[in-house]
Chain A
Amino acid sequence: MRIEADVNKCCGSGMCALTDPELFDQSEEDGTVLVLVSEPGPEHHAAAREAAALCPAGAITVHG
């Protein structure tokens, strides 16, 4: 699995960092998404998909 995030779409809601803080954080500057682990292990796959689905701005894409 590969996680991609588009900071230009991101509106800083924090839903990803709330859903899985091991995969996502937010920039101190403007709250936009930081992907901490772009190729997570299987134990994080469900959370990564959830974060992508919950993202209000459609900024997170999960491949594979």
Chain B
Amino acid sequence: MTGTITAALPTTRDNAFDPPAELGVLREERPLNRLQFPDGHVGWLVTNHELVREIMADRRFSSRSELHHSVITRADGKPVRRPAATPGMFIGMDAPDHTRYRKLLTGQFTVRRMNLLSARIEEIVQEHLKAMRANGTSGDLVQAFALPIPSLVICELLGVPYDERHGFQEDTATALRLETSADEAIAAFERIKDFIRDLVRRKRANPGDDMLSGLIASGEHLDDEEITGMGVLLLVAGHETTANMLGLGTLALLGNPDQLAALKADPSLVDNTVEELLRYLSIIQFGTTRTALEDVEIAGEVIKEGDTLSLSLAAANRDPQRFDHPDRLDVHRSANGHMSFGHGVHQCLGQQLARIEMRIAYSALFAEFPDLRLAVPADEVPLRTDMAIYGVHSLPVEWS
């Protein structure tokens, strides 16, 4: 099948909200296509909903980071070959290691537990809205609202002192920025680890009523490196993702005034709106990765053992076979079955927290500032095309 190898993962967007158009063409023509990875590996690019879902549910496709070829190049152009997941970094592991770590946390992130956090999240959201109002009639929604709210919530859950947040927020941004060299990204990541490792030691001496202390006290005898790994994963995954959904989601609603008007007219649409924004925006913009542990025949092709697959969550979420008029933001639709939290046993652990945070934040934001609007032309909003997690770098808004 020469001539059908995609030379690189398409990353160029035509506008702020739609994934690269080339992904849509591939989804129609060759949803399971050969893809050349930056290190020369010829793997696969998967772009329709059915196949993305099927592969993520199939344990013959591994999440082990050391098996993956990276789909993204860093600024220094060096192919990134990641080492095996360090202790506790269960996102890059398979069963039984993944299962063991994940099971220690799933009880903490249930729908019920997350609902119990509503009052505290509401309080945090209201404090930030009050501060915005106190500061005048304009501001950057990312710094004033979208970033601090999920950061504060995950810090409280984990037991990270919020006044120590600046280091990890900056280091997270550095690690996720594509212009950062591989060496710099690793160094930033190590600094986050050092910070959490030190915190774990402090918690051992002085336990609190938080998740890190809970892991220390669990009967599993986790060592400091394991708890550190789990803590770093939750901290990084817990704030950048929701922060970008709030920033980009607000831009999307402001850019679709009929949809925003529908939400304002019927606030009970917020649950639906959150699911639809998750589907429509797919902020994990370069998708996720799996590597075949054995030869697997799928959709008429043989995926060979060792082949890496890049699964485009964004293309799956815009699949017309799964969602009618997929390129339309429609707060009335059922977006259930979107792939934004992934699928299979690795599906986002914090998704119920993310949902509650977004529901409360969007509801309160538009209730407090019903005339919220952009303070700059929409095409001047700086987009995070340069980051592993898509969104807006800043969102200048005004209100009266």
Interfacial residues, chain A to chain B (CB-CB below 8 A): 11-15, 17-19, 21, 25-32, 50, 53-54, 56-58
Decide: B107 and A56 in contact? CB cutoff 8 A: no
State in angstroms the CA–CA spacing of A30 and B343 once bound together.
19
Decide: A11 and B102 in contact? CB cutoff 8 A: yes
The residue that B109 contacts in the complex, of A12, A32, A54, A58, with Cβ under 8 A, is: A12
Decide: A57 and B352 in contact? CB cutoff 8 A: no
Question: With A50-B336, A54-B337, A56-B345 as given contacts, are A12 and B112 in contact (CB-CB < 8 Å)?
Answer: no
Decide: A57 and B106 in contact? CB cutoff 8 A: no
B57 at the interface (CB under 8 A from A): yes
B344 at the interface (CB under 8 A from A): yes
Within residues 342 to 378 of chain B, which ones have a CB less than 8 A from any CB in chain A?
342-349, 351-352, 355
State in angstroms the CA–CA spacing of A54 and B341 once bound together.
12
16 A–B contacts, CB within 8 A, in A order: A11-B345, A12-B106, A12-B107, A17-B111, A19-B336, A21-B111, A26-B110, A26-B112, A30-B104, A31-B105, A53-B337, A54-B337, A56-B342, A56-B347, A57-B57, A57-B347
B120 at the interface (CB under 8 A from A): no
Decide: B107 and A18 in contact? CB cutoff 8 A: no
State in angstroms the CA–CA spacing of A30 and B347 once bound together.
16
Question: With A26-B110, A26-B111, A31-B107 as given contacts, are A13 and B351 in contact (CB-CB < 8 Å)?
Answer: yes
Decide: B111 and A56 in contact? CB cutoff 8 A: no
State in angstroms the CA–CA spacing of A11 and B103 once bound together.
8
List B contacts of A11 (CB < 8 A): 102, 106, 344-347
Interface of A is mostly: loop
CB distance from B207 to the nearest CB of A (A): 20
CB distance from A3 to the nearest CB of B (A): 17
Decide: A14 and B57 in contact? CB cutoff 8 A: no
State in angstroms the CA–CA spacing of A21 and B102 once bound together.
22
List B contacts of A17 (CB < 8 A): 110-112
CB distance from B53 to the nearest CB of A (A): 9
Name the CB-closest residue of A to B56: A56
State in angstroms the CA–CA spacing of A25 and B111 once bound together.
8
List A contacts of B345 (CB < 8 A): 11, 56-57
Decide: B106 and A32 in contact? CB cutoff 8 A: yes
List A contacts of B336 (CB < 8 A): 19, 50, 54
Question: With A53-B337, A54-B337, A56-B347 as given contacts, are A30 and B342 in contact (CB-CB < 8 Å)?
Answer: no
CB distance from B130 to the nearest CB of A (A): 30
CB distance from A30 to the nearest CB of B (A): 5
State in angstroms the CA–CA spacing of A32 and B336 once bound together.
21
CB distance from B217 to the nearest CB of A (A): 14
State in angstroms the CA–CA spacing of A18 and B355 once bound together.
10
Question: With A11-B102, A14-B351 as given contacts, are A29 and B107 in contact (CB-CB < 8 Å)?
Answer: yes
Decide: B106 and A30 in contact? CB cutoff 8 A: yes
State in angstroms the CA–CA spacing of A56 and B288 once bound together.
15
State in angstroms the CA–CA spacing of A50 and B337 once bound together.
9
Decide: A30 and B351 in contact? CB cutoff 8 A: no
Decide: A31 and B344 in contact? CB cutoff 8 A: no
Q: Which of A12, A15, A21, A58 has the most CB of B within 10 A?
A: A12
Name the CB-closest residue of B to A32: B106
State in angstroms the CA–CA spacing of A56 and B348 once bound together.
10
State in angstroms the CA–CA spacing of A30 and B106 once bound together.
5
Decide: A31 and B106 in contact? CB cutoff 8 A: yes
Decide: A12 and B102 in contact? CB cutoff 8 A: yes
List A contacts of B102 (CB < 8 A): 11-12
List A contacts of B108 (CB < 8 A): 31
List B contacts of A58 (CB < 8 A): 57
CB distance from B297 to the nearest CB of A (A): 20
Decide: B352 and A14 in contact? CB cutoff 8 A: yes
List A contacts of B104 (CB < 8 A): 30
